[in-house]
A = this chain, B = another copy of it.
Amino acid sequence: MTSPPPFAPGSTLADVGEFGLVGSFTTRFPQGDHVYVGPGDDAAVLRTPRGHVVVSTDVLVEGRHFRREWADARSIGRKAAAANLSDVNAMGGRAHSLTVGLAAPADLPAQWLSDLADGIAEEAGLVGASIVGGDLTTGSEVVVAVTVLGTCDQAPVLRSGARPGDVVALAGRQGWAAAGLAVLTRGFRSPRALVEAFQRPEPPYDAGAAAAVAGATAMIDVSDGLLADLAHVAEASGVALDVRRDAFALAEPMRAVGAALGVDPLRFVLGGGDDHAIAATFAADATLPDGFTVIGTVAEPGEPGPVVTVDGAAYDGPRGWTHFATSS
């Protein structure tokens, strides 16, 4: 992955061309044993066990999901892969393959795209997944469309299985990326830990399968915002979820940012999404896998139906991203 690039320094996408750049990718990405045909033919072909194929697609657009001045290409690639790998995680599955669709301006440095691809491959490598194919074309802005394929060793855990009496539990950092974004949008670069959390999320990749084995009744990837995503679970399961403020231990940098920006740092925790934490519900007597902390409870829905409350009351802060309602 650190072999020298096969194109001259300063080359743009237009200089190197689609075929040249794709050719440089395909020779250096490691391919797992399950890859029967890797990049370079009309399609990739994967050997798969009988069972379930888990598949998910995410699209990231420059200026909306990332900014080139806020993170280097490798970090953006890692983040794009993480968003997808996390979706398979949230089904209780394990990712094995990714395809990468890219549109980019013709004058974009070829090295930037190469670094982006390396970042995707690097993040995929954390779970042993391979980049098996893709497509590259010109466009007026950078668009990264990643599709991930994976397997489930057991039945997938859906959003719809939460039952009254269950507990709500969370694995992974939560709110760090949102706090990092708040820092960046105000033109700051520190606390470094939070900025890095935004630039490169570290999803708890073992949590999903572990939760499935431990009998999780429902599960979701926290990507829109904790309360927003729990609302998807409440809706799909037909239940009410209540989250406790005191369940969240606020790390020092979160407190520091809250004080510096004059914001209750719990807002980042309850409304943040980019960490790709895993939220799951379990029977009250289940033994939670390592890494999960109970943050709330599941009840019968009252009026006005399936909702998410905080300490038993409606929450008036931001619950997460509402796509298209935001300008960033």
Residue ranges of A at the interface with B (Cβ–Cβ < 8 Å): 13-14, 17-19, 36-37, 40-61, 63-65, 86-88, 90-91, 93, 97, 99-103, 106, 132-141, 143, 145, 147-150, 152, 156, 158-160, 219-221, 236, 322-325
Contacts and interface: CB of A to CB of B under 8 A. Distances in A.
A110 to B, nearest CB: 11
B324 A106 contact: yes
A18 B221 CA distance: 18
Residue among A53, A63, A150 with max Cβ neighbours from chain B (10 Å): A53
Given A64-B138, A158-B37, A147 B99 contact: yes
Taking each of A46, A88, A101, A152, which has the highest tally of chain B beta carbons within 10 Å of its own beta carbon?
Answer: A101
A97 B137 CA distance: 23
Given A101-B59, A101-B101, A139 B44 contact: no
B141 A91 contact: no
Closest 6 interchain pairs by CB? Answer: A145-B145, A43-B56, A50-B50, A101-B145, A42-B90, A147-B147
A52 B149 CA distance: 13
A94 to B, nearest CB: 12
A40 to B, nearest CB: 8
Contact of A48 (B48, B61, B135): B48
Contacts of A56: 42-44, 99, 133
B156 A61 contact: no
Most chain B Cβ neighbours within 10 Å, of A52, A150, A219: A52
A220 B42 contact: yes
A44 B50 contact: no
Determine the main DSSP class of A at the interface with B.
strand
B138 A140 contact: no
B45 A97 contact: no
A215 to B, nearest CB: 18
Given A42-B159, A42-B219, 8 more contacts: A19-B323, A37-B156, A41-B156, A41-B158, A42-B86, A43-B55, A55-B132, A101-B147
A138 B57 contact: no
Nearest to A20: B324
Contacts of A90: 42-43
A210 to B, nearest CB: 16
Nearest to A62: B139
Contacts of A103: 59, 61, 143
B14 A101 contact: no
Given A58-B101, A93-B43, A139-B141, A49 B50 contact: yes
A137 B57 contact: no
A55 B99 contact: yes
A305 B101 CA distance: 32
A57 B145 contact: yes
Nearest to A326: B138
Contacts of A88: 42-43
A101 to B, nearest CB: 4
Given A87-B43, A147-B147, A137 B64 contact: yes
Given A159-B41, A324-B13, A149 B55 contact: yes
Contact of A45 (B48, B61, B156): B156
